[in-house]
Amino acid sequence: MAWFRGAANQVTMELSGKSIVVYGTNGAGKSSFVDALEYAINGGRICHLAHEYSGKKQENAIPNTHRPKGTNASFCIQLTDGSEIKTEIKNDGTASSHGSVTNWDYRRTVLRQGEVVQFIQDTKGDKYSALLPLFGLQELEVAAENLRQLARNVESLSQLEQRKASLHQALAARKNAFGPADDIQIRATIDRLFEEYCKGKMGASEALDPIAEISAAIDTLFAGFTNSEKQYFYLREAASSDLKTPIKAIRAANSKLASAPDSQVSNKIAVLQQTERYLAGASKEGELECPACGQRIDATAFNQHVKTELDRLQDLRETYERCNAATGNLCDSIRSLKQYLNKQELEPWQHGLTESKLADSFRYLGNLDPDALRKECTETHLQQIETNLQPLVDAAASASTQSPPEAKTLADDKRTAAAANDALRTSSEAALVAKLEQLVRSISALEQATRAEIRSRSNQVIREISDDIKQMWSLLHPGEAIEHVHLYLPRGADKAIDIGLKFYGKELDSPRLTLSEGYRNSLGLCVFLAMAKREAPTDRPIVLDDVVISLDRNHRGMIAELIQEAFWSRQVIILTHDRDWYIELRQRLNPSTWNFRALLPYETPETGIKWSHKTSTFDDARSQLRERPDAASNDARKIMDTELSLIAESLQLRLRYQRFEKNDRRLAHDFLERMISAGKKCFQKKVDREYSTYEEALQALGTADTLLLSWANRGSHTFDVAQSEAVQLIDSCETALEFFKCQYCKKNLWFANAERAEWVQCQCGTIRWRYDKD
C-alpha cells in the first residue's frame, strides 16, 4: 500500500504463501491492510468508514491525510495463483482498478474486532441478513423481498385500502337506502322510475345511462314548479343530508386509533403515506434529500425505515382509511346541505329562522369550509357540527313535512335514483376489490412459498454448520457448562436466525441471555470459522483482525490450537495488538508454515506504517526511550515475563511452588533464576560432536536477570531510570532471548520434542535442553 489509510511510502505485507501473525500496538496500522482487502473485495466500500460517513464521502478517510501533492492512495494484492488486484484511488474518491480475484467473499474472508461480539448481540433479523449471503440464498431472499414489495405496490397503486374503506361506507349507505335488496330488485326500482319519468322512450335496460335520463326528466319537471314547491323540494333535499352516520363512523375509527399504543399514530400514518409517495419517485440507492429538512440522507436506510414503519402500522391503516372515507362522506353531506340551504327560494324560510336560536347555526354553516374540514376533523369539529348543523337538518325536515305531494315525490325519487346508482356501483366495486385482494394474496402466497424454500435450504446448511460450531466450541471450551451450541431458525419468524445452546443443562434460545462478552466473542468466532471452513476448497485466506480481545489467556491459547487443527491447509492472517498472545503464537505455531511480523508503533502520517526488523516486540519498548525511559524498562520486563513463562512451559521447567494465585503471576526473575540454576545441567550446546553447558547463554540470562532486578524494578516503582540504562536493559533482554534460538538452523530450542525423549532441541541439534528430572 502507499498513502492508503495509515500507509505513507510503500509498505508491503509479504506472505510468500504462508500464514502470518502480525503484531502492532493500537494505531500501528494493522487494520489498514484489512481495509485495503475490504475495499478490493467489496467494490470500494469499507463498512466501518461508511458508518462514519453515512455511506458517502468515505474517500475523505481513505487517503493518508498528509500525502504529498500529486500522490494518490494505492494498493495491490497478489495471490499465489497469479491473480492480482491493483487499485489507485484519486482524491475525489474515484478509483481505477486492474485485475480481479474470483470467488472472494468478504464476509467469509475477514472477521474484525467488534464484528464478532456484534454478531452475537445482533437481533435475529440482523443475524439472518449476515448469514444468508453466506448460505448462497441471497437470490431467494431478493425474490421474496421483491414479492413482498410487489404486493405492497399493487395495494398502493390500486389504492386498495381507500377503496375498501369507501366500499364499506357505500355498502352502509346502500343498506340504509334499500335494506337487503339485491341488484335485481334495485334495477327494478330504476325501471319503475324510468317508466314513470321517461315515458315514450325505450326501456331502461336499453338506455345508455337510465339514471342520468331519470335525473334529467326530474329536473325538467322541477323547472316547471312554483317557488313554493321548489322551496319544499330543497327543504326535503336538505333534510336528507346524513350527518349522523359519518360522525358515528369517524368516532368509531378515532376511538380505535386512540387505543393504539402510539398516541400519534394517525399523524404518523399520514406522514408515512406521504413519504412513501415521495420515495416512489426518488432514488433507492445512494443519498437523497430529506423531504423535511433538505439534509442528504442514506436512501437505502430511509426506504427501509419507512417500509418497516408502514408494515408495523398495517393493521391500523385500514381503520385510518375508514376514518378518511367517513370524513369525506361527512364533508359531502355538509356541502350538499350548504348548497340547498343557500338556494334563493329558501330565503323567506331562512329569514324566519335567523331571529331564533338557529341564527348561530346558519352563521356556522356559512363559515364552514368542507375542504378544510376534510384535512382536519377533530372531536371538537364533530361536536360543533352536531350542535349547529343537525338542528338545521332537523328544521328542514320539520318544514318539509308540509310539502305538497308532487314536490315530496319528486325529491324522494331523485334521491332514490341517485342512491340506486351508488348502490349498483358497490357491486362492481366489491368485485374489483375482491379481485385485487386475491391478487395481493396470490403474490403474498408466492412470497411465503419462497420463504418456505429459504427455510428448508437454510435448515439444511445450518445442520451442517452447527456440527462444526459444536465441534469448535467444545475444542475451545472443553468440559465447560455451555454445550450444544447450534444455529436455528426460530419458529413463526421469517428472516430470522438465532443461536441456541445448553447452559448448565438447560436449553436456551439465545446466547444474549447468559453469555459473558468473552464467551460471546468466542461463539462469534466459532460461527465465522465454521462458515469459513465450509468453503475451504475454493475460498481465499481468512483474516482475523484483533478478534480475541475479550478472551482470557487460556481460551486464546485454545484458539491457536483450533486454527492449527481446523485450518492447517488454509492460509490465515492474524492481526493482534495483544503482545502476550503474539508471543504465545510465535512460540506455538509452526514456523515452517507461519510468518511472524511486528509493526513499529505509529509515529507520524509522513512516516506511516513501518515493519520492525525483528519478530520480537522489544521495538515497542524502544519507541518510548526518548520520552519515558522508565516506561521503556517496564515494558521490557513485561515482555520478558510473558516470553519466559512460555519458554519455561516448553522446557518443562519445574518452578518452586508458591502460595495460591502467585503461581500464575510469576515474574521474569522467577523464571530466569530457575533457568540459570537448572541450565547448568540442562542447557547444552554441541561443540565438536560433544554437548557441554551453554555457558554463553547462561551468562546472557544472568546479565538480563541482574539488570531486570535493578533497573526494571526501579522503572516500575520509582520511575528513575536513565535512557542509557533502559537501552542496556532492553538490549540485554533481547540478547538473552536470542540464545533460545539456534544461530544455525534458526529454529527454537524446543523445536523437536518427543514425549518420551530426554530433551528438546533445535532442528539441527546444535542446542538442546535436557529435561530437569531431579
Partner 1 sequence: MQMPDDTEWVTRAITNAKLESTTKDDAVWSLLENFLNGDLRTRPLTAMQLQAVARQLMDAMDSTTQTPEEPR
Task: Tell me whether residue 409 is exposed, middle or buried, using C-beta atoms within 10 angstroms of its C-beta: 0 to 12, 13 to 18, 19 or more.
Answer: middle
Of 147 and 547, the one with the shorter C-beta distance to partner 1 is: 147
Query: Of residues 532-571, which lie at the interface with partner 1 (CB under 8 A)?
Result: 534-535
Distance CA 505, CA 507 (A): 7
CB 181, min distance to partner 1, A: 22
Q: How many CA atoms lie within 13 A of 478 on its CB side?
A: 7
Of 142 and 493, the one with the shorter C-beta distance to partner 1 is: 142
Looking at the DSSP assignment, which residues form a beta bridge with residue 63? 4
CB 83, min distance to partner 1, A: 19
Of 121 and 158, the one with the shorter C-beta distance to partner 1 is: 158
Query: Of residues 180-209, which lie at the interface with partner 1 (CB under 8 A)?
Result: none
Neighbours of 702 (CB within 10 A): 17
CB 112, min distance to partner 1, A: 22
Distance CA 30, CA 609 (A): 8
- Please list the alpha-helical segments (H only) found in 609-722: 618-622, 629-650, 668-682, 695-707, 713-717
Of 478 and 537, the one with the shorter C-beta distance to partner 1 is: 537
Of 247 and 325, the one with the shorter C-beta distance to partner 1 is: 325
Interaction of residue 448 with partner 1, rule CB under 8 A:
yes
Distance CA 258, CA 322 (A): 14
Interaction of residue 298 with partner 1, rule CB under 8 A:
no
CB 497, min distance to partner 1, A: 15
Distance CA 592, CA 607 (A): 32
Of 436 and 733, the one with the shorter C-beta distance to partner 1 is: 436
CB 303, min distance to partner 1, A: 8
Neighbours of 438 (CB within 10 A): 10
Of 314 and 442, the one with the shorter C-beta distance to partner 1 is: 442
- The backbone torsions φ and ψ at residue 96, rounded to the nearest 5 degrees and listed phi first, read -120, 130
Of 154 and 188, the one with the shorter C-beta distance to partner 1 is: 154
Task: Tell me whether residue 486 is exposed, middle or buried, using C-beta atoms within 10 angstroms of its C-beta: 0 to 12, 13 to 18, 19 or more.
Answer: middle
Distance CA 61, CA 47 (A): 12
What is the Cα gyration radius of the chain? 42
- Contact at 8 Å (CB) between 649 and 580? no
CB 257, min distance to partner 1, A: 21
Distance CA 69, CA 713 (A): 48
CB 167, min distance to partner 1, A: 8
| Span near partner 1 by CB under 8 A; candidates 352-360, 441-449, 606-614, 678-686 | 441-449
Question: Of 549, 735, 721, 740, nearest to 635 (Cα)?
Answer: 721
Pairing state between β 482-488 and 95-98 = unpaired
Neighbours of 22 (CB within 10 A): 22
Of 280 and 359, the one with the shorter C-beta distance to partner 1 is: 280
What track of x and - describes contact with partner 1 for positions 376 through 415 (by CB under 8 A)?
A: ----------------------------------------
CB 321, min distance to partner 1, A: 10
What track of x and - describes contact with partner 1 for positions 218 through 237 (by CB under 8 A)?
A: --------------------
Of 302 and 581, the one with the shorter C-beta distance to partner 1 is: 302
What track of x and - describes contact with partner 1 for positions 455 through 494 (by CB under 8 A)?
A: --x---x---------------------------------
Query: Of residues 108-167, which lie at the interface with partner 1 (CB under 8 A)?
Result: 134-137, 139-140, 142-143, 145-147, 149-150, 153-154, 157-159, 162-163, 166
Distance CA 105, CA 83 (A): 16
Q: How many CA atoms lie within 13 A of 652 on its CB side?
A: 18
Of 353 and 566, the one with the shorter C-beta distance to partner 1 is: 566
Q: Is 16 left (phi over 0), alpha (psi -120 to 50) or beta?
A: left
CB 334, min distance to partner 1, A: 16
CB 324, min distance to partner 1, A: 11
Query: Of residues 701-720, which lie at the interface with partner 1 (CB under 8 A)?
Result: none
Interaction of residue 435 with partner 1, rule CB under 8 A:
yes
Distance CA 242, CA 386 (A): 11
3-state secondary structure 664-679: HCCCHHHHHHHHHHHH
- CA distances to 80, 206, 418, 760 from 19, rounded to whole Å, are 12, 89, 85, 25
What track of x and - describes contact with partner 1 for positions 312 through 331 (by CB under 8 A)?
A: ----------------x---
| Span near partner 1 by CB under 8 A; candidates 50-58, 346-354, 437-445, 682-690 | 437-445
Query: Of residues 503-532, which lie at the interface with partner 1 (CB under 8 A)?
Result: none
What is the Cα 476 distance to its own chain's centre?
Answer: 29
Of 7 and 530, the one with the shorter C-beta distance to partner 1 is: 530
Of 469 and 697, the one with the shorter C-beta distance to partner 1 is: 469
- Which set of grid coordinates corresponds to residue 291? 423531504
| Span near partner 1 by CB under 8 A; candidates 93-101, 430-438, 640-648, 753-761 | 430-438
CB 650, min distance to partner 1, A: 40
Of 54 and 146, the one with the shorter C-beta distance to partner 1 is: 146
Interaction of residue 450 with partner 1, rule CB under 8 A:
yes
Coil/strand/helix, residue 288: strand
- Contact at 8 Å (CB) between 275 and 389? no
What track of x and - describes contact with partner 1 for positions 267 through 286 (by CB under 8 A)?
A: ------------xxxxxx--
Distance CA 555, CA 547 (A): 12
Count of residues near partner 1 by CB under 8 A: 48
Q: Which residues of 106-129 are buried (b: 16+ CB within 10 A; e: fewer)?
A: bbbbbbbbebbbebbebebeebbe
| Span near partner 1 by CB under 8 A; candidates 253-261, 428-436, 541-549, 628-636 | 428-436
Interaction of residue 432 with partner 1, rule CB under 8 A:
yes
| Span near partner 1 by CB under 8 A; candidates 72-80, 427-435, 732-740, 742-750 | 427-435
Interaction of residue 443 with partner 1, rule CB under 8 A:
yes
Binding site for partner 1 (CB under 8 A): 134-137, 139-140, 142-143, 145-147, 149-150, 153-154, 157-159, 162-163, 166, 279-284, 328, 431-432, 435-436, 438-439, 441-443, 445-446, 448-450, 452-453, 457, 461, 534-535
